[in-house]
Structure 1
Amino acid sequence: MTRRPTTTPAPVPPDDRTRLLAATHHTPHGVLGAHPTHGGVAFRAWRPYAQHVAVTTPEGLHAELHDDGDGFFTALLQLREVPPAYELEVTYADTTQRIADAYALLPSLGDLDLHLIAEGRHEQLWKALGAHPMEHQGIRGTRFTVWAPNAQGVRVVGTFNYWDGAAHSMRSLGSSGIWELFVPDIGEGELYKFEITRPDGSKTMRADPLATRTEEPPANSSVVHASHYTWDDDSWLERRAARPVHESPFSVYEVHLPSWRPGLTYRQLADQLPAYITDLGFTHVELLPVAEHPFGGSWGYQVTGFYAPTARLGSPDDFKYLIDKLHQAGIGVLMDWVPAHFPRDDWALAEFDGRPLYEHEDPLRAAHPDWGTLEFDYGRKEVRNFLVANALYWCQEFHIDGLRVDAVASMLYLDYSREDGEWTPNQFGGRENLDAVAFLQEMNATLYREVPGVVTIAEESTAWDGVTRATHHIGPGGFGGLGFGLKWNMGWMHDSLDYMSHEPVHRKFHHNEMTFSMVYAYSENYVLPISHDEVVHGKRSLVSKMPGDWWQQRANHRAYLGFMWAHPGKQLLFMGQEFAQGAEWSEAHGPDWWLLDPAYGAEPDHRGVRELVRELNTRYRAAPALWERDTDPAGFSWVTGDAAEDNVFAFLRHAADGAPLLSVSNFSPVVRHAYRLGVPDDIPAWHEILNTDAARYGGGDITNRDPIKPEADPTHGHPTTITLTLPPLATVWLRP
């Protein structure tokens, strides 16, 4: 039998009412909900647009609340205690809902989480902040939490409340700056944002910084999400930690996922990309930034959703499926990560709660001078925690094998792209950004501690000392190492591309540009990158940088790749360059795949270059001399590095225990007959295992017949000599 007790109003106190209406209340749970008071239990609900609100219990209680105006409904019931389980029956013009009262619930975020957040040490921050479908006090719903320490008030708005947050004011959890609300009866798929009341009283609608899923741009709402993916890559994860990366084969195919095959989803890419990379023999794929970004033309380098893979290609679980398929094919997955800056979109991180929060409060430190973006405040522990946890998030939740960290130089220097008067020295009077140094060290140390087999790679374009040195090893400059595993060798890239751009007749004047890299080759653990940055913005594709007619351009291209794969360091090649695409890359249409299709009149030359890349990777992986001692000076020796008049470079790569490899490059357009090179005397014969001039690659097929036997004639500091025919614009590899 339903009990309908006599009720009297229990009005919301005027000050609380004013603050709730203005969205500036820090403790709505202290006013709304059910509270013991003199004479019984006071029930208060705020349900704008409702016609009636009643309290009901499983025991049969049904009590109408009084309409106090402005959407407030209250009643004082003559009860001894708050019912352990009650619901609100809310009647609108066209529907009646029975829902648990969000304001009857305790905080859904634990004290340990709050302590770790306050310390800036919550390594799984994404499990504490954001939106999480869960069960709380026996009720299914979603917990919303957000860091907004400067806010006067925060509400959660979304499709579940018609984007009106009046019924869902959040509570402040003390001095942590965290706001929390558990909303019963909503779950996955709901769109939401946070409505923040700034210190000046104005309001702003913000996407969730910790959202793990977003709407597809240009829409920018966050999406309540829970992963249901089951991984099948255990054997891969066990294998990847077996050997250090710098002592392993590491050949990287760089990909912009939205344009590799335009129009494909993550799952459709999973049907094609692993097979293509496997066929070409690359050990890893590197993805341009996948985190959500509003402007596709930024290629992902202006991130707004640091915890959400872009919705352009599918769901987060779809992205996990792609990574899983790559792992099952034996391919490591690297991802570009962008902790250097973020865009100024007024729905994202910029002045998130009305004041500088994620960005530095000093305008000179906040504004990035080159990209119109904002730089993170690495000195703020919560911001550092946001970024360190983000690095862990991608590696732990998505099984990413490594992060290539973008624009490290812009983080390390206070005067980066700034003139005198536009920057302030650090506390010691220097130009180093000490906060950024500490952040990078913490990020690397944490990632290597928590994720076995992971690798971090720095895109760092200066001579900063110790980028790949351990964080606890102090260098000459007084800094510990930054702790990266590898570093992009931008110097080698610029020097070698400059050399190759010259007509062969002038190359002798630039010979040192191809040999200088060996002066510093062991100062860091290097990757040799021919990346997306080198084939856009008027820089032309790799083959188009080469001089001469079309045949010579392709020959130069092939010879350069042969030289690159043999040079100490790991390799990275951007998509399209593996088949000598002539046009610059455009994210609008991606690689010119038609160049490989005979049905479209494609020349076999492009297929020949791709065949060479396949062969380079095959030979590379089979020859420990080319990767085992990349960071050891004993793994390399010049045969001749001073043959400038000939445009010839010859060097040996040595394995720790095995056969050496001899690489000889002739960057002149003439055949060099009977070319003499000194070699070790303990090898009875040499065999040509790769020749970039071979006919199947599109070359002239000038090769050396086996066996090539040494003669007892000292040359180049070696006791014996071999005599070779060097094809024009070609690289030759030989092994015992």
Structure 2
Amino acid sequence: MDEADRARLLSGSHHDPHALLGAHPGPDGVTFRALRPFAHKVSVVVDGCHTPLHSEGDGLFSAVLPLDTVPEYTLLVSYDDAEYEVHDPYRFLPALGEFDLHLIGEGRHEELWRALGTEPMVHQGVTGTRFTVWAPNAQGVRVAGDFTYWDGTAFPMRSLGSSGVWELFLPGIGEGRRYKFEITTRYGARFLKSDPMARCTEVPPATASVVTASHHEWSDGEWMTHRADRPAHEAPFSVYEVHLPSWRPGLTYRELAEQLPAYVKDLGFTHVELMPVAEHPFGGSWGYQVTGYYAPTARLGTPDDFKHLVDRLHQAGIGVIMDWVPAHFPRDDWALARFDGYPLYEPGDTRRAEHPDWGTFEFDLGRREVRNFLVANAVYWCEEFHIDGLRVDAVASMLYLDYSREPGQWTPNEHGGREDLDAVRFLQEMNATLYRRVPGVVTIAEESTDWGGVTSPTDRGGLGFGLKWNMGWMHDSLGYMSKDPVHRRYHHNEMTFSMVYAYSENYVLPISHDEVVHGKQALVSKMPGDWWQQRANHRAYLGFMWAHPGKQLLFMGQEFAQGAEWSEGHGPDWWLLDPAYGAEADHRGVRDLVRDLNSVYREAPALWERDSDPGGFRWVVVDAAEDNVFAFLRFAADGAPLLAVSNFSPVVRHDYGLRVPEGFPAWEEVLNTDAARYGGSGALGPGPVRVGADGSCVRLTVPPLATVWLRPV
């Protein structure tokens, strides 16, 4: 062997080890060469005959056999403690096709997980695993794992042309084996990296990737068949946000599957939203600093275990939304950061690469392979795990070049503006691809600015999301509710301003985890007054929220008025629902209200059918600041009305006149947050409310700190 080739091979910097190792015909016969560090002896086995290879030192063994062609053969490798007959990885052709490489080069491989990473397979009649990784700046890449004692010397990978992809088929390696890629940079530095495309990982803080294959058989056919029957913005859509590791601490995916679907179904939510499930090294990040974009966190089980949870939720009639984090990734040296020794997934300009708020790297969305990595990831979760929607985190931080940056810390775009045009193109591509491939999917933007067209179609220049979190409504309404009722008259517009822009996008009204941590207090604790008034405010606010145009999202624990902030360490305070605590009129009453809100909501098209149509809403009382009263009508597509009245003062409003549509002589209460069974005062009794002589006005008693819904009898 040429000395230069030998040195490069042994140092892990050779681009084509298959040209040196394996079997190669020549004028004197077939040369066999194997690289087996720590082996005492290696023999070639052909038709049962063993021929020893000669040691060349440094774990290299070779011999020339007088053969005309390369035969079928195996290697017999002897170590101190055992002898193994194995297939030679260097006798196999590439297990990745030219079309895959072409799509990867174009940045258009929409099923990238089928091409990169690991794939257990039968190749040329032999069972093993294909290893592939994109590392275009590497001088060499090797596979290291628990099957090599984490030494990569024996298994250098080959570079597949100019694609930047490295490949190796390892016979006999199957599911459950742990591995990493050993990267050698252009300057000779060497380090281990976890697989960016790993579909399974070790349980953190361990960081190895794990070979896996799915064996889950889905049972959600009915759900998947009808998922696309109605678009999300025209359907009932109330979401229970969950942090899986702390919802019931200690439960696995499969144990959660026995409890979470039943709980959510009982409360009547249409969907759950799971805070990030993708693998992350630090639990305290709640999953928002992702290192394993293609792997569900191993803390709770295997990928198939997570599929089982999704399957059970679907069987219970509950959609599954997953938080997705394409805005940034952590700097851990074993993961994506400077993956092949150079900025690869992150921009080369450190000013652009480093996120100033979170100490993380941003993705280089101007690089087609990086966009492909993320777009395919969105498709992967929806197609492989039957996820019904992605809530995209921190969209605003992606859209603006100057996000959290001072002058001089950012460079304007080609037009001199602050918009990140690469991020815009990425989001458009992601949404367009996902909606084209996955019927019934919905994407939801967490976008906190006034960027126009977030939920407009991409062919009209919009970003293409299905829904957007209404951060303005959340901030304004919580600001209003935190005021003492005597001061709310001065903040009346904070509850009405949302209707100025309510139809500019398709909105979700979010009371998320972000609003109940870091000193912001739990929802009920934001409310003024004594404990009774806090709960009354809490209930009235939920009634107002469920009636307001837009979809609803409520974070776990808020459905029963947990008073303490959420902590990922112990999750919701379930003990508050224990009858021994006397919870019936307190926390259980609030949970009963949430159940009834969802029940009435789902059965009342007026509350969801025209969420994005201005004709589906009409103010009845908009300027009663002195009374702290708001009243409005919602209309279904067929014109059927529902009247919502909120009184955010602790004073009963007797004989309160409200103008209603003509033609409906009597109205009945369908929901009252002040009902005694919820812990209220029961100020408004049962029975219909009749319209006055003029045919268009009802007069009713409006309970204190309460929301009442009425509909025609």
Are 1:596 and 1:604, in contact at CA under 8 Å, matched by a contact in 2? Answer: no
Q: Does 2:125 correspond to 1:144? A: no
* Corresponding residue number in structure 2 for 1:614: 595
Decide which of 476, 479, 493 is 1:495's aligned counterpart: 476
* Corresponding residue number in structure 2 for 1:732: 708
* Corresponding residue number in structure 2 for 1:313: 300
Alignment map for 1:55-70 (pairs within 5 Å): 55-57=44-46, 59-70=47-58
Decide which of 183, 187, 203 is 1:216's aligned counterpart: 203
**2:596, 2:15 → 1: CA distance?**
65
Deviation at 1:61, TM superposition (A): 3.0
- String of CA shifts for 1:168-216, please: whole Å, max 9, x gaps: 0000001000000000111000000000001221111000000000000
Are 2:468 and 2:508, in contact at CA under 8 Å, matched by a contact in 1? Answer: yes
Aligned-residue sequence identity (percent) comes to: 75
Query: Any idea what SS the aligned residue of 2:341 has?
Result: coil
**1:510, 1:327 → 2: CA distance?**
42
* Corresponding residue number in structure 2 for 1:573: 554
**2:77, 2:581 → 1: CA distance?**
66
* Corresponding residue number in structure 1 for 2:39: 50
Deviation at 1:659, TM superposition (A): 2.0
* Corresponding residue number in structure 2 for 1:189: 176
Alignment map for 1:118-157 (pairs within 5 Å): 118-157=105-144
**2:60, 2:686 → 1: CA distance?**
93
* Corresponding residue number in structure 2 for 1:25: 14
Query: Any idea what SS the aligned residue of 1:498 has?
Result: helix
- String of CA shifts for 1:215-269, please: whole Å, max 9, x gaps: 0000010000000000000110111100111000000000000000000000000
Decide which of 683, 693, 697 is 1:721's aligned counterpart: 697
Alignment-mate amino acid for residue 313 of structure 2: L
**1:102, 1:235 → 2: CA distance?**
44
* Corresponding residue number in structure 2 for 1:410: 397
Deviation at 1:565, TM superposition (A): 0.1
* Corresponding residue number in structure 1 for 2:525: 544
Task: Extract unaligned runs of 5+ from structure 1.
Answer: 1-11, 474-479, 714-718
Query: Any idea what SS the aligned residue of 2:263 has?
Result: helix
**1:658, 1:188 → 2: CA distance?**
58
* TM-score relative to the length of structure 1: 0.96
Are 1:197 and 1:353, in contact at CA under 8 Å, matched by a contact in 2? Answer: yes
Alignment-mate amino acid for residue 657 of structure 1: D
Q: Does 2:515 correspond to 1:534? A: yes
Please, which moves more after superposition, 35-44 or 698-707?
698-707
* Corresponding residue number in structure 2 for 1:169: 156
Q: Does 2:326 correspond to 1:339? A: yes
- String of CA shifts for 1:654-687, please: whole Å, max 9, x gaps: 0111521000000001101010111111101000
Are 1:25 and 1:152, in contact at CA under 8 Å, matched by a contact in 2? Answer: yes
**2:336, 2:667 → 1: CA distance?**
61
**1:272, 1:439 → 2: CA distance?**
37
Query: Any idea what SS the aligned residue of 2:621 has?
Result: strand
Query: Any idea what SS the aligned residue of 2:632 has?
Result: strand
Q: Does 2:360 correspond to 1:373? A: yes
* Corresponding residue number in structure 1 for 2:384: 397
Q: Does 2:63 correspond to 1:75? A: yes
Alignment map for 1:250-289 (pairs within 5 Å): 250-289=237-276
Deviation at 1:603, TM superposition (A): 5.6
**2:236, 2:584 → 1: CA distance?**
32
Flag the 1:706–1:599 CA change in 2: closer, same or farther, 3 A. closer
**1:167, 1:395 → 2: CA distance?**
37
**1:572, 1:198 → 2: CA distance?**
47
Query: Any idea what SS the aligned residue of 1:212 has?
Result: coil
Are 1:339 and 1:405, in contact at CA under 8 Å, matched by a contact in 2? Answer: yes
Are 1:266 and 1:318, in contact at CA under 8 Å, matched by a contact in 2? Answer: yes
Query: Any idea what SS the aligned residue of 2:119 has?
Result: strand
**1:599, 1:165 → 2: CA distance?**
60
Flag the 1:690–1:602 CA change in 2: closer, same or farther, 3 A. closer
**1:28, 1:310 → 2: CA distance?**
34
Are 1:678 and 1:720, in contact at CA under 8 Å, matched by a contact in 2? Answer: yes
- String of CA shifts for 1:98-150, please: whole Å, max 9, x gaps: 11110111101000100000000000000000011101111110000000000
Alignment-mate amino acid for residue 488 of structure 1: W
Q: Does 2:402 correspond to 1:426? A: no
Deviation at 1:705, TM superposition (A): 3.8
Query: Any idea what SS the aligned residue of 1:167 has?
Result: coil
Query: Any idea what SS the aligned residue of 2:4 has?
Result: helix
Query: Any idea what SS the aligned residue of 2:254 has?
Result: helix
Provide the aligned length of Structure 1 versus Structure 2: 712
Deviation at 1:600, TM superposition (A): 4.3
Are 1:595 and 1:603, in contact at CA under 8 Å, matched by a contact in 2? Answer: no
Query: Any idea what SS the aligned residue of 1:628 has?
Result: coil
**2:411, 2:474 → 1: CA distance?**
32
Alignment-mate amino acid for residue 507 of structure 1: R
**2:464, 2:615 → 1: CA distance?**
24
Deviation at 1:22, TM superposition (A): 1.1
**1:14, 1:62 → 2: CA distance?**
28
Query: Any idea what SS the aligned residue of 2:326 has?
Result: coil
* Corresponding residue number in structure 2 for 1:3: none
Are 1:50 and 1:91, in contact at CA under 8 Å, matched by a contact in 2? Answer: yes
Deviation at 1:604, TM superposition (A): 3.0
* Corresponding residue number in structure 1 for 2:465: 484
Query: Any idea what SS the aligned residue of 2:299 has?
Result: helix
Are 2:585 and 2:677, in contact at CA under 8 Å, matched by a contact in 1? Answer: no
Query: Any idea what SS the aligned residue of 2:355 has?
Result: coil
Deviation at 1:335, TM superposition (A): 0.3
- String of CA shifts for 1:442-491, please: whole Å, max 9, x gaps: 00000000000000000000000000000011xxxxxx100000000000
Query: Any idea what SS the aligned residue of 1:507 has?
Result: helix
**1:649, 1:204 → 2: CA distance?**
63
Query: Any idea what SS the aligned residue of 1:686 has?
Result: strand
- String of CA shifts for 1:401-428, please: whole Å, max 9, x gaps: 0000000000000000001111000000
Alignment-mate amino acid for residue 36 of structure 1: P
**1:705, 1:537 → 2: CA distance?**
42
Alignment-mate amino acid for residue 468 of structure 1: T
* Corresponding residue number in structure 2 for 1:683: 664
- String of CA shifts for 1:68-120, please: whole Å, max 9, x gaps: 1111101111111111x100100111111111110111101000100000000
Q: Does 2:684 correspond to 1:703? A: yes
* Corresponding residue number in structure 1 for 2:675: 694
Query: Any idea what SS the aligned residue of 1:365 has?
Result: helix
Deviation at 1:707, TM superposition (A): 1.7
**1:551, 1:208 → 2: CA distance?**
54
**1:526, 1:702 → 2: CA distance?**
33
Query: Any idea what SS the aligned residue of 1:131 has?
Result: strand
* TM-score relative to the length of structure 2: 0.99
Query: Any idea what SS the aligned residue of 1:214 has?
Result: coil
Deviation at 1:13, TM superposition (A): 1.9
Query: Any idea what SS the aligned residue of 2:206 has?
Result: coil
